Amino acid sequence: FVVIGDTRNRHDVHSEILGKLLEKNPRFIVNSGDLVRNGRAIKDWEAFFKVSNSLMRNTPYYPVLGNHEKDSPYYYDFFDLPNNEKYYYFTVGDALFIVLDSEGKEISEPSFISDENSDQFWEEAFKDYFVKQKKWLENVLNLNDDAGFIFIFQHKPLYSIMKSREKEAKQRRAFWGDIFSRHGVQVFFNGHDHHYHHAIDNNVHFITSAGGGAPLYNFDAIQPETIKYAKIEHFVNVEIKKEKAILHVIDINDNEMETIEIKRRNTK
């Protein structure tokens, strides 16, 4: 499968990335959020599907809610997703794929913009919606404890290398606690920060893949957990083999920026 993120509004870049990832013949695609610039503008969806329609005719496409989707009715009209369509899971073979919602129920976009609004956001975010989602996640992980591989997707990062977003990322980590390491989650994918970033904490790989078409961002807050980072458009091609998964991080120039091997979970 392939992971791409933050496709948004540079449609020429988005189209070029799709052309390259199609060469990998993925079984399905996950978009880590911010598919479009403004989820409530139909013209943005028309532009998105103009680029993506040929791929989506033949390849399953799983979206993650981003802040730019703005919880738009269009999102739910265009995608038919499991559960409540905001957070859901599916399995392929013995691999478990869980999509989480970092945006929250009816939380407006300004709550996410700056550090000064961060406390207000988290006062809202700790309400029933996120608590309910966390309980749901715990239940899904318990029910699928025999999975050979566990991949989680969420739009906003738990590790950010941007000073302006570092505080919120830390607060997200505090909210989720040890749930990922405790359940043996191997990879946590996110978007939002428009570059590539790979961090490892408690044997969980945290990967920001947000180079699918949105304008790229600089980084100014490298974390102790950081392994690799790059400011370039890219996607991640994931091969699942019998005893391991191999993540190939490929940039827009067809260079393999990083190769990550993930061992199968010990489920005995």
Of the candidates 143, 148, 115, 111, the one whose C-alpha atom is nearest the C-alpha of residue 126 is 111
As assigned by CATH, the class of the 2-263 domain is alpha beta
- 0.85 exceeded by pTM: yes
Across 200-223, average pLDDT: 97
pLDDT digits (tens, 9 = 90+) for 14-70: 999 999 999 999 999 999 999 999 999 999 999 999 999 989 999 999 999 999 999
Q: Where are the domains of the chain?
A: 2-263
- Is a pLDDT exceeding 80 seen at residue 80? yes
- Give the SS3 label for residue 67: helix
Across 237-249, average pLDDT: 97
**pLDDT band at residue 117 under the 50/70/90 scheme:** low
The 3-class secondary structure across 207-243, one letter per residue, is EEECCCCCCCCCCCCCCCCEEEEECCCEEEEEEECCC
Across 129-139, average pLDDT: 94
Separation CA 44–CA 46 (nearest Å): 5
Q: Say what the pLDDT of residue 105 is.
A: 60
